[in-house]
Homo-oligomer: A and B are copies of this chain.
Amino acid sequence: MTGLLDGTFARGGASAAVSGDAWFRSLLAVEAALARAAARAGLVPTTAADAVTAACADPGRLDLATVVARAADAGNPVPPLVRVLRDAVGPDAARAVHVAATSQDVVDTALMLMSRAAIAVIDADLAAAAQSAAGLARTHRDDVLMGRTLMQQALPTTFGLKAAGWTAGLDGARTRLAEVVASLPVQYGGAVGTLAGAGPLVRDALAEELGLETTALPWHTVRLPIADLAGALGAAAGVVATVAVDVVLLAQTEVGEVGEVSELRGGSSAMPHKNNPVAAISARACARRAPGMVATLFAAMEQEHERAAGAWHSEWPTLADLLVTVGSAASWLAESLACLRVDPARMAATAEAAAQVIPAAAGLDVGEAGAQADAALAEHAQLVEGGA
């Protein structure tokens, strides 16, 4: 990923939630919470835990350059981070750092925190897109649109029903993400998962400190939480893509039933008549990167013994990239739908022309399109209220 392409592929806030800074903040948040959890369990003095918390809260004072320099050789960033942190808090508080933990405990838990933060941003963009879609569904509840199957005009429907379908899809994606976020677990088990030197109390306190769920066992090599994230993010990408492709197809010159109207975008200098739906196109581009990343994460579930030799590591940038690309897709779609101009007159004209040649379309009967759209909008309203 490069700065030049970030406006397209690192759009929205998810990228900041998994940045290098975010990694540091998250790893330190875990170490700080672990110190407090160990203090709550009586394993270390509260004053030492406070010192660790204070040091973690002020990363600017830590020698993070050393951590960056040594992370790769250590195999992961935690060993040098722990050393730097112990140096920072001094010998007395040092024993409150990384109590009975293994690197994977800290990395995995930090990934859960970053995923939660990134999904909060993604969800906000999906919610904005859903709100726009719902608004379109209400505004155009009864506007006739020629339904198209296999890319051929088929029978009439309404733009309201189409936009309600978008709304339902985006809401469904949000619901799945919310379920996954609510179940994100802490990771804590020590070197080989036995909780040696600590115990379930520390784990549970750590979970409580961070607002994460707990599990009966560490999930060092049983990667269901990663699979859950991959599945829900892949589903969100898919919903964004299907809405975006509808926008792109309806915006075709020959169809012209919708268009993105934005002062910033869409014009072609060589062809001033062109109004490219840049936001929908970009949403599609970002969403299409997701399935390959999802496959990488599922393939990485095969993890050896008590800690995998490569598969585990491959998750870190892949999950981060997946969050970024799904976030970018959601952000672009929110922009697209916010500036979507719908042309009911063109829709009606197309439908009426079709009705001349398609006997079954003669009456422009749209069946229960309105009632179904209403039902979906009612569910949407419930979700919005429930989330408020």
| Best-buried of A22, A288, A290, A317 by chain B (most CB within 10 Å) | A317
With A298-B235, A298-B290 known as contacts, the answer to whether A68 contacts B7 (CB < 8 A) is yes
- Determine the chain B residues whose CB is within 8 A of the CB of A245 once the complex forms: 302-304
**What distance in Å separates the Cβ of A348 from its nearest Cβ neighbour in chain B?**
15
A313 touches B217 (CB 8 A): no
* A contact residues, range: 35 or more
Q: Ordered nearest first, which 5 A-B pairs have the shortest CB separation?
A: A238-B301, A231-B231, A147-B192, A196-B367, A7-B72
- Determine the chain B residues whose CB is within 8 A of the CB of A296 once the complex forms: 288-289, 291-292
Is the contact region of chain A dominated by helix, strand, or loop, or is it mixed? helix
A164 to B194, CA, bound (A): 12
> Is A150 engaged at the interface, CB distance under 8 Å to the other chain?
yes
Task: Point out the residue from B153, B161, B231, B270 that lies within 8 Å of A193, measured CB to CB.
Answer: B161
A289 touches B303 (CB 8 A): no
**What distance in Å separates the Cβ of A64 from its nearest Cβ neighbour in chain B?**
8
The 0/1 profile, CB within 8 Å of B marked 1, for residues 258-285 of chain A is: 0000101100111111111110111111
With A169-B222, A217-B165 known as contacts, the answer to whether A150 contacts B309 (CB < 8 A) is yes
A1 to B350, CA, bound (A): 40
Which parts of A319-359 form the interface with B (CB within 8 Å)? 320-321, 350, 354, 357-359
- CB closest residue in chain B, given A190: B367
- Determine the chain B residues whose CB is within 8 A of the CB of A83 once the complex forms: 269
